[in-house]
A and B are shown apart, each in its own frame.
Chain A
Amino acid sequence: MRGIQLSFSNTQKLRLEKALAQLGSFSSKLNSNATVIVADKIPVDEDAALKGHGTLEMGNDVVASVCGVVERVNKLVYVRPLRARYKPEIGDIIVGRVIEVAPKRWRLEINFSQDAVLMLSSMNLPDGIQRRRTAVDELNMRSIFVENDVICAEVRGFQHDGSLHLQARSQKYGKLERGKLLKIPPYLVKRRKQHFHHLDQYGVDLIFGCNGLIWVGEHVDVKDAMVEDQVNKSDPQNTHSSSLPGSSEEPTDTPLERRQYICRIANAITVFSALGFMVNLDSIMETVTLSLSLNLGVHEMLEAEFHVRVAEQEAERRSTSKRRR
């Protein structure tokens, strides 16, 4: 089993197997037929079918070029890969790490097949004012982001030369501080309307990067405005946050309790990705609540027993959602 290197006791093993078997019974028969592996023939009804990603034409047949699930949209036939690196789409919210400060741009590692580029001109400067970037700004780039900073941004698109460009045109994007970065397989993060989450009861911010990097950090006030776009805000002074460099406010220490919450949420996500389940806010919060109700310490969440519990909970959750339908 990928990612799980734990010693389960016999009963735990049985319980885990049972829970996973239960999960297997939920996926419909139709879908198990749609699973293909490399070079499997994909049945197409008519000749006019459009061949999408993950397919190849071989003689008269359409075959899969990756292991995945066949999807059909009208005439389009494509294979969604089950395991692959992140593939950016315009508008994706991603978390990345700065690896290089280059002239007028930062290079970011985002788990894609190439590094992403964040131009100085495609981001709002921390002072929040829309204006031309001057040579002075260019010299001060290191005061905004330096190497190894963790950054949240949005995918802007591919340039003509094939490079991937990002943008950070809102106060909700930018440097992430005082938190924990998690790397999970990108296929476990689904694209949703909302990728920024403020968990009020814990005082924690949660960012699900589409590229499989997940940020769990202390709540930063500016992100109160993340629901609606704040570009047109009349008073830019209020959008300043303590985390932004150059602001006068001194960041205070993160209280211990909050740090524990951060770690608890992070561990919940780690358990989920180890079990190979889709990560979303509801299930993560349920897992955190479960761990709290069991009175588990933060480190105990990574033990075998909790993995089994989470698998059982997921089976339960999917069965109820199935019944509801």
Chain B
Amino acid sequence: MEYVNPEGLRLDGRRPMEMRQLRAEIGVVSRADGSASFEMGNTKVIAAVYGPREVQNRSQQMNDQALVRCEYSMANFSTGDRRRKTKGDRRSTEISLVIRQTMEACILTHLMPRSQIDIYVQVLQADGGTRSACINAATLALADAGIPMRDLVTSCSAGYLNSTPLLDLNYLEDSAGGADVTVGILPKLDKVTLLQMDAKLPMDIFENVMQLAVEGCKAVESHIREILLENAQTLVIRQGYGS
């Protein structure tokens, strides 16, 4: 199948190095300490953060740092064919773990000993790149909850099809069987916290693809920062500092 046509356009009309439209909203779950929804094109996820709060399972309590937990789930209506997904299937367990490890790398857990932070992410619409969208939403939700972090983790995926590196794969491109590289970075520290690839790529091509994904992460970061700053400023105004 042709994923990039001779004019250099992809199936959904994007250029190879073009991202889908980003949309983010903060404060979508009223009872959570922090929450956000994040959209990348047709992929839409919602994240809610609870905590730091008392550890539910005493045996897991750590005296020097906070316990970070993450639960990933997909809504039944999120995919094209409606199907009931069992809660603890391999895919969601794996993604939960990935998100948890990524977020743990940026949260300053040592500042909140003997407590736990719960991150719940749910996919409302799945169109490829749910992993990255979940991480971006979780970052926003954590920042909204006022949890101290080293940096904002952002994530983006890139792939390689028809001998072209493609940024931010959608579902069709994702299921084409080519390589799919998901990268999560700490933009200010310039460090990689997540790198996943589910196919083989030659070294030199991989470097290009990864570079592309990192560029994508930086684009996501600038968008996220805009949203956060705007949110912070409205909060300042509402609370009436300086007036």
Binding site for B on A (CB under 8 A): 1-3, 5, 20, 23-24, 26-28, 30-32, 35-39, 54, 56, 58, 63, 65-69, 81-85, 109, 113-115, 162, 187-188, 275-278, 318, 321-322
CB distance from B50 to the nearest CB of A (A): 10
Inter-chain contacts of B114 with A (CB < 8 A): 113-114, 162
A68 and B232 within 8 A (CB):
yes
In the assembled complex, 6 residue pairs joining A and B whose CB atoms fall closer than 8 Å, in A order, are: A20-B238, A27-B241, A84-B146, A114-B54, A162-B113, A278-B240
Bound Cα distance from A5 to B30, whole angstroms: 10
Report if B115 contacts A (CB, 8 A).
Answer: yes
Bound Cα distance from A35 to B229, whole angstroms: 8
Bound Cα distance from A67 to B143, whole angstroms: 7
A83 and B145 within 8 A (CB):
yes
Chain A residue at minimal CB-CB distance from B221: A39
A39 and B34 within 8 A (CB):
no
Bound Cα distance from A65 to B106, whole angstroms: 10
Inter-chain contacts of A2 with B (CB < 8 A): 26-27, 30
Report if B80 contacts A (CB, 8 A).
Answer: no
Taking a contact as CB atoms closer than 8 A, the residue among A67, A82, A113 that contacts B112 in the complex is A113
Taking a contact as CB atoms closer than 8 A, the residue among B52, B55, B146 that contacts A66 in the complex is B146
- Given A23-B243, A37-B229, A67-B228, A83-B235 contact (CB < 8 Å): yes
Inter-chain contacts of B188 with A (CB < 8 A): 39, 58, 63
Bound Cα distance from A65 to B189, whole angstroms: 13
A276 and B228 within 8 A (CB):
no
Bound Cα distance from A2 to B30, whole angstroms: 7
Bound Cα distance from A38 to B103, whole angstroms: 14
A37 and B232 within 8 A (CB):
yes
Report if B215 contacts A (CB, 8 A).
Answer: no
Bound Cα distance from A321 to B242, whole angstroms: 12
B243 and A318 within 8 A (CB):
yes
- Given A28-B242, A67-B143, A113-B54, A56-B236 contact (CB < 8 Å): no
- Given A24-B237, A35-B236, A83-B243 contact (CB < 8 Å): no
Bound Cα distance from A276 to B233, whole angstroms: 12
Report if B201 contacts A (CB, 8 A).
Answer: no
CB distance from A307 to the nearest CB of B (A): 13
Q: Lowest 10 CB-CB distances: which A-B pairs, in order?
A: A84-B146, A31-B242, A276-B238, A113-B52, A2-B27, A113-B115, A26-B243, A65-B148, A81-B146, A37-B228
- Given A2-B30, A65-B148, A67-B146, A23-B242 contact (CB < 8 Å): no
A113 and B53 within 8 A (CB):
yes
